[in-house]
Structure 1
Amino acid sequence: MNASKLLVLASAMSMSATAFAAGAHSGGHGANIGKPGEASQADRTITVEMHDNYYEPESIEVKPGETVRFVIENKGNLVHEFNIGTPEMHEAHQEEMMMMVEHGVIQGGKLNRQMMEMDMGNGHSMKHDDPNSVLLEPGQSREVVWKFTGKGNIEFACNVPGHYQSGMYGDVSFN
């Protein structure tokens, strides 16, 4: 990859990562969606299965202040993501995910972990290690522990290109 392409890619990753991170912290698009929780303080556990273009369950109800331990299992044949955020956060994150496909990190049903480690400049990589998100190959499972601290328009979604648009998202509603 020549230096000018790498510079453009690093700038784009930096802007996308900044936009996404801003949404998860106070003052951003997703202010008050929550924060990482402690598994030992989880009020309950919800198992979420990711199939090719849908989740089971398709929606969840939470209480403000509740900490939920999500056990995420990829039951599909493709790489899928579980990401908690607002629709605006998902839209911004979809740009990052498109770059991951374009640069060979996401390859249908597998992840190129070596490419995920690539230094994109300014301390950014394609590691996909945000506390509100997991990216899984078929057959993998991981946990996300999240404390829902407010109300708002919150979803869980797969932002792999085309998946959100085909309906792979679910609502988080407060009771």
Structure 2
Amino acid sequence: MFLRKSLVQIACLLTLSSPVWADAGHTYDFGQPAPAAKATRSVEVVMGDMSFTPKAIDVKAGETVRFVLVNKGQLLHEFNLGDAAMHARHQQEMLQMQQSGMLTPTGMKSMDHGAMAGMDHSKMDHGMKHDDPNSVLVEPGKTAELTWTFSKATNLEFACNIPGHYQAGMVGKLTVSQ
């Protein structure tokens, strides 16, 4: 158990400093992550405290977009691609991370064993690390990237699922057209 907890801590730290790639357990019907070199265009998204600029993004099915995420706010923010139901589920995971002390207003920290004692260990493989390929955390004053190939026409959102941020308006419309 000690080794598993240590591995979770290491994974959390690596997630903040490394690009995130899909693994066999992550599949999305609206697309998949891609290397930045495959992008056909870049879109800069500025994160303020409780805002995204732009508020709406249009892409085409089959297009690979490199999102350049600039956090100009004072808080940690997330850029997450998905539909409203996916965001609602992810918000619960982020709330659990916040309640555990792992997620702070300005970053993520490694877990201590005392904080993990009360956690629902059945969710640790997913809920206790921020490793979704459709999502990236950006600390205040930092820039990160997420490159995604959109596979089909659909209506999505890009959102910050840190507790309270989505509800405060940190969500934008992402339209994928044919």
Shorter-chain TM band: 0.7 to 0.9
Unaligned runs of 5+ in 2: 1-22
- The TM-score, its normalising length taken from structure 2, stands at 0.75
Q: Distance in 2 between matches of 1:35 and 1:174?
A: 14
Task: Confirm or deny that 1:41 pairs with 2:17.
Answer: no
Q: Distance in 1 between matches of 2:53 and 2:78?
A: 13
Q: Distance in 2 between matches of 1:88 and 1:121?
A: 21
Partner amino acid for 1:137? E
Partner amino acid for 1:132? N
The alignment partner of 1:65 has SS state of coil
**Structure 2 contact 159–170 (Cα < 8 Å) conserved:** yes
Moved segments of 4+, more than 2 Å: 118-123
Q: CA deviation at 1:131?
A: 1.3
2:11 corresponding residue in structure 1: none
> 1:73-92 alignment to 2 at 5 Å?
73-92=70-89
Structure having greater relative contact order (Cα 8 Å, sep ≥ 6): 2
**Structure 2 contact 150–176 (Cα < 8 Å) conserved:** no
Identity of aligned residues (%): 47
2:140 corresponding residue in structure 1: 138
Unaligned runs of 5+ in 1: 1-20, 26-30
1:50 corresponding residue in structure 2: 47
CA distance 1:56–1:165, change in 2 (3 Å): same
**Structure 2 contact 155–176 (Cα < 8 Å) conserved:** no
Task: Confirm or deny that 1:96 pairs with 2:96.
Answer: no
**Structure 1 contact 87–153 (Cα < 8 Å) conserved:** no
**Structure 2 contact 32–150 (Cα < 8 Å) conserved:** yes
1:6 corresponding residue in structure 2: none
Q: Distance in 2 between matches of 1:163 and 1:92?
A: 14
Q: How many residues align?
A: 148
Task: Confirm or deny that 1:111 pairs with 2:83.
Answer: no
